[in-house]
Structure 1
């Protein structure tokens, strides 16, 4: 069901934190993301993702990037709102990890 919403489309995500990305889904279970702001933890990536519909048109999408960044994202296609939690290796962080919580909006193009 999720793939039906994103297949052959670009999802432009804009977080209040200033992070922004274009995400395309070239095939089921694969996404490609490209930062569209100067804030990013890596230049871009092609990742395998997992998704679960948690409510009508609300999807929980997760992936692990090659760099070790973990992204958990909730996309609400009813309101075009997005929530995300990102975590990555950081010796100074709790448990050796740093993290950030994002909220924002997205557009389908």
Structure 2
């Protein structure tokens, strides 16, 4: 049975650009890390730099997977070249981020950490 054309178009619709796209934010995490995150105009790429904390001086550019999960609320995920995975739930309304990341341990295993952060927009 063929699907109606309108349904096919809805499935193929391009997702809207996230509200954080084209902006730069400073994230201050509960572990002392401070990150500067700059998002591309289409919201598909992140350029980040660790300004303070355990990763100070590290930086990268990441390809993002993004899903809007509410008004001003986004689930954002990426995998870094190092194998570190990072997931954010960004709440632009409350200017907070719930962060979960995983990384390899010296014994060959993996571990994860859950953090919270404040979000300050510093450039548009």
Tell me the TM-score normalised to structure 1 length.
0.87
Task: Point out where structure 2 has 5 or more consecutive residues left out of the alignment.
Answer: 1-15
Task: Point out where structure 1 has 5 or more consecutive residues left out of the alignment.
Answer: none
Quote the residue 2:26 is aligned against. 12
- How many residues of Structure 1 are paired with residues of Structure 2 in the alignment? 106
Pick the structure with greater CA Rg: 2
2: CA distance, partners of 1:4 / 1:106: 14
More strand by share: 1
Aligned counterpart for 1:44 among listed residues 40, 59, 64:
59
2: CA distance, partners of 1:68 / 1:27: 26
Checking the alignment, whether the CA contact within 8 Å between 1:20 and 1:39 is kept in structure 2 is: no
How far apart are 1:70 and its partner, in Å?
0.2
RMSD of aligned C-alpha atoms? 1.9
Runs of 4+ residues over 3 Å off in structure 1:
1-4
